[in-house]
Amino acid sequence: MKLSALTKLACAFFLLFAIPAFAAERWELLPDPAPLPKAEKTGKAPVNGIELYYAVYGSGPPVLLIHGGLGYADIWSSQIADLSKDHTVIVADSRGHGRSTRNAEPYSYDLMSSDYLALLDYLKLDKVALVGWSDGGIMGLDIAIHHPERLTKLFAQAANSKVDGVIPTVMENKTFAGYIEKAGKVYEKISPTPTEYNAFVEQIGAMWASQPNWSDDDLKKITTPTAIVLGDHDEAISREHTDYLAKTIPGAELVILKDASHFAMLQDPEGYNKAVRDFIDK
């Protein structure tokens, strides 16, 4: 069947304009985590009055992966699969997240960081490279400021040192809203308190309203080799604040992940794994 010139032109316009209008960009997607590899061991560590779920994979130089707010350890599945080939990889569900319990003690980054340090003590690990995303990156900064002897490297993605580093419109973003919805469904499935998601969010939200709040002098104390990392389409943390962190922390390396957002580890696992390895293994 022959097409008229007008029909061909109409088809060309459709291909050029209509299809892109319906195709989501990679940084707008929110893929589910891949299936987890088999763990060497899992358990619940009694730390600071709670039970912290953890899992350990592989063998070699230890790497601790700390997830972001409302998340859980399985989000790191692609990083676990890659890094555990030649590293001991430790993951956990932060207090109140995932399979871990919480208590009435007010949330703070100092408290959550101390949970992870207590987990390292429980596992008899003196030092680790730390890969932290969002709240996990903030905990990484907290540990680097107050307990640098526990870290060999810090890869802090989408972290902020002050509340004004957060983009004010983040909650209006479709991808971020989708993450919050998914997190609630996961919580209902795996939490020891499956009906208390709203109470949990209220507790942790009180922390987000005022923390973190570190000064320039605090950041300048950091001696751990640090990468400050951001997706080039991050919905939550501003590029201006990320540049500020990289300039203020002595010797920090700025890493910008291409075509990725706050959820870069899910959107581009291969690129994310390479960025992590390029930093922690060099």
Sign of CA dihedral 221, 219, 227, 136: positive
The pLDDT tens digits of the residues spanning 244-273 come to 999 999 999 999 999 999 999 999 999 999
Domains of the chain, CATH where assigned: 40-280 (3.40.50.1820)
At residue 184, does pLDDT exceed 80? yes
Cβ atoms of 139 and 161 within 8 Å: the answer is: no
Question: Which pTM was predicted?
Answer: 0.92
* Mean pLDDT of all residues belonging to the chain: 93
- The larger pLDDT score, comparing residue 15 to residue 95, is at 95
Whether residue 107 has pLDDT greater than 60: yes
Provide the pLDDT for residue 180.
Answer: 95
pLDDT of residue 38: 96
The answer to whether residue 4 scores a pLDDT higher than 70 is: no
Contact 143, 117 (CB under 8 A): yes
Give the closest residue to 159 by CA, choosing from 173, 172, 183, 142. Answer: 142
Number of residues that make up the chain: 282
The answer, yes or no, to whether residue 10 has pLDDT greater than 60, is no
Q: State how far the Cα of 56 lies from the Cα of 63, in Å rounded to an integer.
A: 10
Cα separation, 200 vs 1, whole angstroms: 63
Average pLDDT over residues 33-49: 97
User: Please, are residues 142 and 240 in contact by the beta-carbon 8 Å criterion?
Assistant: no
Split at pLDDT 50, 70, 90, the class of 22 is low
What confidence score (pLDDT) does residue 15 get?
40
